[in-house]
Structure 1
Amino acid sequence: MKTPLLILITSVCLTACSAPVMHSYTLQGSTPPSEPPVEAPAFQLEIRPIRVPVQVDQPQLVVRLNQASLAIMENDRWGAPLAEEFHDALTDRLESRLGTHDLAGMSKDAKRPVLSIQAEVRRFDSLPGQYALEEVVWSLELRGNGQGRRTLTCATQIRQPAGVELKSLVLAHQHLIDLLAKTIADTANGWTKDAALKCPSGNV
């Protein structure tokens, strides 16, 4: 067994033998993107609910021990359901990068087109002492204002090195969502102006 995993399991065992201390984590970062938009976009933004793999869609953090095993960290939990954590974190970053607010579920200006963004997280892996990895299929849909309806569907796989501590893994996932938001926002800004624009490279 690799040393980082041994350290993690030992830590879990020691915690189990003493009074449990609950920890809460979030995917929402505390700093805005470093490249704010120059001007607001011509479209209105709508970000739909996000799906995450059922294996990790738990109140507790779930880490991968090896190719076949997962561990549920009973005393380490997300501040909200993981799908909501991911949605809120991605929404916050997309709003900052696109220079507009998410209007999902709200009334919209019929004279302006609406850009809908939908994402499905296919993999959300946390490997202590190795890396965090996210594989996301996402789509853009532009409709309204006499332009009809057109869509673009893309896939992105990204990873970030991480330490053995759970905080390090969470911070790595925060960074991955930053990268994902930048990829989606850059693509959206170009594709809404040029329908011939293709998906970016699948790995970041």
Structure 2
Amino acid sequence: MRRRPRTIAAVVAAAACCLPLLTGCGKSAPTHFFSLSTAAKENVAAPDGPCQSIGIGPVDFPAYLDRSQIVTRLGPNQMHLAEFDQWAEPLRDNFQRALAENLGALICAKPLVTYPWPVGGHPDKQIVIQVARFDGSLGQNATLRASWSVVDGDGNNLAWRSVEYQEAATGPGYADLAAAQSKLVEKFAKDVADTLRQ
């Protein structure tokens, strides 16, 4: 009977020591969400040329980018999926919308729609895109590699291009990488606009 208080005291002391560990296990790092941005309006010239109906899409993305985590390259054959740094929406949808917004500032497109088209929508020209790569390495370069074509309303292929762009990240973080990838979409939009003007 005399040993019981010591046993209880030992259990209480052990529980007190473990309590900080248990409370620490319940916490995790906050998740940060990112999105592609578009060119600032003051940096874009007013659209010129005749107006035309333009449709963006479908846009095909590689399967390795079909996830919420931001994918970065650690080497030629190694990728990293960021657990706590993610896209705020599917990257393909974000890419398609950012491209449309950038393109709308460069050419006169009425209307400018994204795939799938609204009911009754039949654009005069359609931009079909197949993205092969859209990623980068933290603190280094972001890369966009894609093939795309311009198709008229009858399904005829008017132009076909294969492009690759690189943009250096201005810092070591995921926000810097997302900004560099946004610049890549701007470059892509300028090439598409130039082709449509021709």
Do they superpose with TM above 0.5?
A: yes
Aligned counterpart, 2:175: 167
- SS of the residue corresponding to residue 181 of structure 1 reads helix
Give structure 1 regions of 4+ aligned residues with deviation exceeding 3 angstroms: none
What secondary structure sits across from 2:82 in the alignment? strand
Deviation at 1:30, TM superposition (A): 6.2
Cα distance per residue 1:75-120 (max 9 Å; x no partner): 11111101111111111111221222323334358xxx70111111
Residue 120 of structure 2 aligns with an amino acid whose one-letter code is S
Contact 2:49 2:197 in 1 (8 A): no
Instruction: Report % sequence identity.
Output: 25
Kindly indicate whether residue 104 of structure 2 is the aligned counterpart of residue 95 of structure 1. Answer: yes
Say whether residues 1:36 and 2:46 are aligned partners.
Answer: yes
Aligned partners of 2:197 and 2:127: how far apart in 1? 12
**Higher helix proportion, which one?**
2
Q: 1:135 to 1:17 in 2, by over 3 A?
A: farther
> Is the CA contact (8 Å cut-off) linking 1:125 and 1:132 kept in structure 2?
yes
* Counterpart for residue 185 of structure 1: 193
Q: How many residues align?
A: 168
Q: Does 1:124 align with 2:134?
A: yes
1: distance between equivalents of 2:60 and 2:98? 14
Contact 1:22 1:75 in 2 (8 A): yes
Equivalent position SS for 1:20: coil
**Aligned mates of 1:108, 1:124 — CA distance in 2:** 29
Q: Following the alignment from structure 2 to structure 1, what is the Cα–Cα distance between the partners of residues 139 and 156?
A: 45
Counterpart-to-counterpart distance in 1, 2:69 and 2:121:
37
Q: Please report how far the alpha carbon of residue 48 of structure 1 lies from its aligned counterpart in structure 2 after TM superposition.
A: 1.6
Q: Which runs of 5+ in 1 are unaligned?
A: 1-15, 191-204
- Asked if structure 1 preserves the Cα contact closer than 8 Å seen for 2:72 and 2:81, the reply is yes
- Structure showing greater radius of gyration is 2
Per mean C-alpha deviation after superposition, the further-off stretch among 55-64 and 178-187 is 55-64
Aligned partner (choices 78, 83, 86) of residue 74 of structure 1: 83
Indicate conservation of the 8 Å contact 1:143/1:150, yes or no.
no
Gap change, CA 1:150 and 1:67, over 3 Å in 2:
closer
Between the aligned partners of 2:61 and 2:36, the Cα distance in structure 1 is 14
Distance 2:26 2:75 in 1: 24
Tell me the TM-score normalized by structure 2: 0.77
1:30 & 1:152 partners in 2: Cα distance? 25
Q: TM-score, normalised by structure 1?
A: 0.74
Shift of 1:160: 0.5
The one-letter code matched in structure 1 to 2:131 is V
Range moving further from structure 2, 27-36 or 174-183:
27-36
RMSD of Structure 2 on Structure 1 (CA):
2.3
Flag the 1:119–1:18 CA change in 2: closer, same or farther, 3 A.
same
Report how far residue 189 of structure 1 moved. Answer: 1.0
Change (3 A) 1:108 1:85: closer
1:113-152: CA deviation from partner (whole Å, max 9, x where unpaired): 70111111111121112100000101101236xxx83421
Runs (5+) with no aligned partner, structure 2: 1-24
Larger strand share, 1 or 2: 2
Please identify, of 43-52 and 69-78, the stretch whose mean Cα deviation from structure 2 is larger.
Answer: 43-52
Q: For the structure 1 residues 18 and 66, does the alpha-carbon distance in structure 2 shift closer, same or farther, using more than 3 Å as the test?
A: farther
